[in-house]
Structure 1
């Protein structure tokens, strides 16, 4: 009777036993059969979850650079070298433009006017000049207006010599993670990644996180390209943190009656059930039950269990269309015959070996 009970139990399919934090039994999650309707519903759900409002990040026409606190300005009043003070003379400006200045090939501090903590510079005759938030052209016009009271038709050259006020941080799977200064070249997401040396082969292009204040955005580069959205229009702001996740953080675990159970790395956020089974050698022909292919998925709300019967018509097409998600567990149950052999071996150790030996005797 004990043997009959075990055999009956092993033919009912995969059994799930759930417990709460106190160890009390909970109802097992219902098994959802993988069908065309379920696949379509899952795709709609994934599309809704993936639709994040990135419009506030998109800036097709970036504005010019604005001066900030800590920036160093190079200011030249032509024909008036006495106004250079601790700044840049006309000769120095010409030498720097030609690349022959004394500091052109050294790490020595460049002369210039530093924007103070209140966003001002101090310039002869003009006094304390508020330049924070102004473009180079606007700052030049303001300084020209101030000096026109003392100099007839002042000819002024003003440019940002050192960009030190605005930075972004690039981390994760890039060649050179660290701080990147925002300069007159628009700091788009693509520009920031290129300045960081580009993505490593281990980078997951589907999982790029951008943190801006309390907001967090998840960016899928390949998905944007497929939708016809140019990632180069994503403009970074000062203080942004960009992290490129590793593909190793998005794995799918395949176990049970497959040829080679193992953890699989997703391909830039994509891996189908058919691909997962194929990369593990497929269902074991000796012990696997093609009727019982399960996908266990932990969601914030509950645990979901999907089942595929590979014997049905169109099951391979459904397996190719069923998208797995990171941390999914694919499990192939054993066939009734394989379960019978294993339980019999546990009940009567060595019985099958002895029977085979007796049968093989001459």
Structure 2
């Protein structure tokens, strides 16, 4: 009898497991499937250095913090409740010291050398019959192909392969492409031009219309060209403004008055990595020091001097208080979820499924989201199936959802996650390991099997 009962129990468990499987009582795990179903058409794209560039092309500008987070309590801030600062007492020839003229040394003219991010345009002769030649725009599109120089310094041309171009002049690049076309037994007749200059830039900021990077093209970029490109200088008082150029660890200065009257300074040649900043002498600390100096210089009587200083301190205090009030109000609204935010969503086999806000004033990347939320559990998550699900604007289009698949079984692939930019409403999904799915199915199945086996024994 003692050997019969275990045999009966084992038989009952086997019969119960077979019956449950036949009834379809199995554990269903979430997965990304590259099929066009009735509801959603999914297109799976492997994440590579090339496809990262493609995914990042979708335009997105991060939300910005309110202006009060960037303002200083200096002159001209125009905050509500704050009047004009007290006038400085009249003192003959009283003004801040003019900056010294220290222009950067002249640089020799060098031919433009291609770099990472530049886009070159390859034009080939027209082929085909008369009807094809009359197709106009289609023919032009087929004959002019743009190639972006990748992070490895090369472009990839179908039927030719990878051609390194970084560091070459346009003439040298044409020669190298010619040699590769001949080696591949293709027609070497073509022309090459640079469609986008992205590898060499100069930053321009400060008291200008628009702070931005200005690209350096085939011709030398002058200081005047760079300032014109950002909309010109907006300093209200020319005598107090200075153009500062930071190059290779050295700071050069050109007073704005000298720049406006001397064409040779306007023709100053800028080079890759230069930073141009138009600076005015008035910020909070400088304005306060200047006013205090002027009030003390003229020898006002003690009472009048104290009143003037108190007026200055009170006005600056009003401005600072208004800024702090605006910032605190924004932070309270943010805490109550009353501010519009852009979000991404973390799902699947992750430390915690959650909704994650995108940061203000900067791009967020896939690595920021994954590791900022605790990473992925190595024991249960499948590193080969990390997906970024991004919906198309047209839900009826083919590939209405693009699943960008990051295979992180090779840990080096995580570097791609540090460059993959997030977009609002992206869904980051991590699939479970096959053994994880099996273990969870057994965890759900075992209690039922044990009950059935016990009933069979009894």
TM-score (normalizing by structure 2): 0.36
> Which one has the bigger helix percentage?
2
> Which one has the bigger strand percentage?
1
TM-score (normalizing by structure 1): 0.45
- Higher relative contact order (CA closer than 8 Å, sequence separation 6+): 2
